[in-house]
């Protein structure tokens, strides 16, 4: 019986004490403060081309509102996403265009309420990203077919690309039949005596390789139309004062069709070769440094419509 009396007395003390404390607090003007509302976060923002920014978001499931702030004129543009990773590539000329070599800032909030707090109090405080510069650009208008099972080496002569940098993105234009690419490698041309104009130095960078993932496919387009794909920037130290080689292995299947344009030979030249079965220990053509058996295709830029550098 004693333990029951002790338990009841203890309960009265706790309840009474709590009530008394509440009265004291209320008398002092202290009121209940609700917990802060949840806020999504833009954890990273990276320019991946002259026209795209990759965002990584930390958030709960569901849609959030992302705001893009353009530091140049203070304008903002909002878009919805439900993903934790999203590429901002919205292009609405004169309204919300992503322009090359510009500084943008991003913040986010939940859409449950119009008063939901932003991840940063002001647009100019958001996560910063700078788009890449367009270092080479020109629409490809002429069709070249039957590239399946072939390798293209596109050589850009010294200073054909307008700037150097440590990040490179490519925009490729296929013909209406589309294209499938197994490998894309970037390198400077080998300046050593006796080297061919399509030979690479040892320092190369992989932009696409089926050793690490599926082929890069540009889907077919409606008749008399073409499609492009922009490959996000990779880390590669490009020296625009030296010739650049871009080596591309097209898949054996399906059909691949590319677009090209004519240029002066001091700007760019291309080389092509039909792929042969690999011998034991042999590397695919795009990965090689020492190449042979290529046919010149002078004074053209093929397949590569734009090179962005950051």
pLDDT digits over 239-257, tens only? 999 999 999 999 999 999 9
Which residues are bridge partners to 309 per DSSP? 133, 168
Mean pLDDT confidence for 119-145: 97
Helix (H) or strand (E) run with residue 134 in it: strand 133-137
Same domain, 71 and 141: no
Instruction: Identify the weakest region by mean pLDDT among 54-63, 88-97, 132-141, 207-216.
Output: 88-97
Mean pLDDT confidence for 161-165: 98
Q: What's the confidence (pLDDT) of residue 212?
A: 95
* Tally of domains in the chain: 2
CATH at residue 159: 2.60.120
> Residue 272 in contact with residue 258, Cβ under 8 Å?
no
Same domain, 103 and 186: no
Instruction: Identify the weakest region by mean pLDDT among 30-34, 221-225, 259-263.
Output: 30-34
Q: What's the confidence (pLDDT) of residue 273?
A: 98
Neighbours of 161 (CB within 10 A): 23
pTM for this predicted structure:
0.86
96, 131, 166 — which closes off a domain? 131
Domain annotation covers residue 6: no
- Distance (Å, rounded) from C-alpha 190 to C-alpha 203? 10
Instruction: Identify the weakest region by mean pLDDT among 71-75, 81-85, 192-196, 248-252.
Output: 71-75
Residue 35 has pLDDT above 90, yes or no: no
Same domain, 83 and 217: no
> Residue 207 in contact with residue 231, Cβ under 8 Å?
yes
Same domain, 221 and 303: yes
**pLDDT bracket for residue 25 (50, 70, 90):** very low
**pLDDT bracket for residue 29 (50, 70, 90):** low
Q: What's the confidence (pLDDT) of residue 2?
A: 47
Mean pLDDT confidence for 166-186: 98
Task: Give the chain's mean pLDDT.
Answer: 90
Q: What's the confidence (pLDDT) of residue 114?
A: 83
Q: What's the confidence (pLDDT) of residue 52?
A: 96
Neighbours of 287 (CB within 10 A): 16
Helices (H), 146-241: none
Q: What's the confidence (pLDDT) of residue 190?
A: 97
**pLDDT bracket for residue 30 (50, 70, 90):** low
Same domain, 127 and 189: no
Strands (E), 239-277: 244-250, 258-262, 268-274
Q: What's the confidence (pLDDT) of residue 217?
A: 98
Residue 8 has pLDDT above 70, yes or no: no
Domain annotation covers residue 33: no
Q: What's the confidence (pLDDT) of residue 266?
A: 98
Q: What's the confidence (pLDDT) of residue 98?
A: 87
Residue range of the domain that includes 56 = 41-131
Q: What's the confidence (pLDDT) of residue 82?
A: 95
Neighbours of 82 (CB within 10 A): 11
Same domain, 195 and 291: yes
92, 108, 131 — which closes off a domain? 131
Same domain, 93 and 150: no
Q: What's the confidence (pLDDT) of residue 280?
A: 96
**pLDDT bracket for residue 115 (50, 70, 90):** confident
């Amino acid at each position: 019986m004693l333990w029951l009396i002790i338990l009841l007395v203890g309960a009265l003390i706790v309840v009474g004490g709590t009530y008394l404390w509440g009265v004291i607090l209320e008398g002092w003007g202290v009121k209940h403060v609700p917990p802060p509302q949840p806020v999504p976060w833009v954890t990273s923002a990276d320019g991946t081309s002259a026209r795209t920014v990759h965002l990584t978001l930390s958030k709960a499931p569901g849609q959030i509102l992302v705001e893009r702030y353009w530091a140049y004129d203070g304008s903002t543009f909002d878009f919805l996403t439900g993903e934790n990773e999203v590429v901002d590539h919205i292009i609405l000329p004169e309204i919300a265009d992503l322009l090359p070599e510009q500084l943008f800032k991003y913040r986010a909030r939940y859409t449950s309420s119009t008063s939901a707090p932003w991840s940063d109090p002001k647009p100019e405080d958001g996560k910063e990203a700078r788009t890449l510069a367009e270092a080479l650009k020109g629409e490809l208008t002429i069709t070249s077919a039957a590239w399946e099972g072939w390798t293209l080496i596109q050589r850009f002569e010294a200073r054909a690309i307008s700037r150097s940098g440590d990040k490179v993105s490519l925009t490729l234009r296929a013909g209406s039949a589309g294209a499938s690419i197994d490998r894309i490698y970037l390198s400077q041309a080998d300046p050593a005596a006796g080297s061919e104009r399509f030979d690479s130095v040892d320092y190369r960078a992989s932009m696409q390789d089926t050793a690490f993932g599926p082929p890069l496919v540009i889907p077919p387009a409606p008749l008399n139309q073409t499609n492009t794909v922009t490959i996000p920037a990779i880390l590669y130290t490009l020296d625009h004062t030296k010739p650049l080689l871009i080596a591309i292995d097209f898949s054996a299947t399906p059909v691949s069709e590319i677009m090209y344009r004519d240029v002066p030979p001091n700007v760019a030249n291309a080389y092509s070769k039909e792929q042969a079965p690999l011998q034991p220990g042999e590397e695919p053509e795009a990965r090689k440094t020492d190449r042979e058996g290529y046919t010149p295709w002078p004074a053209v830029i093929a397949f590569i419509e734009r090179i962005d550098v950051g």
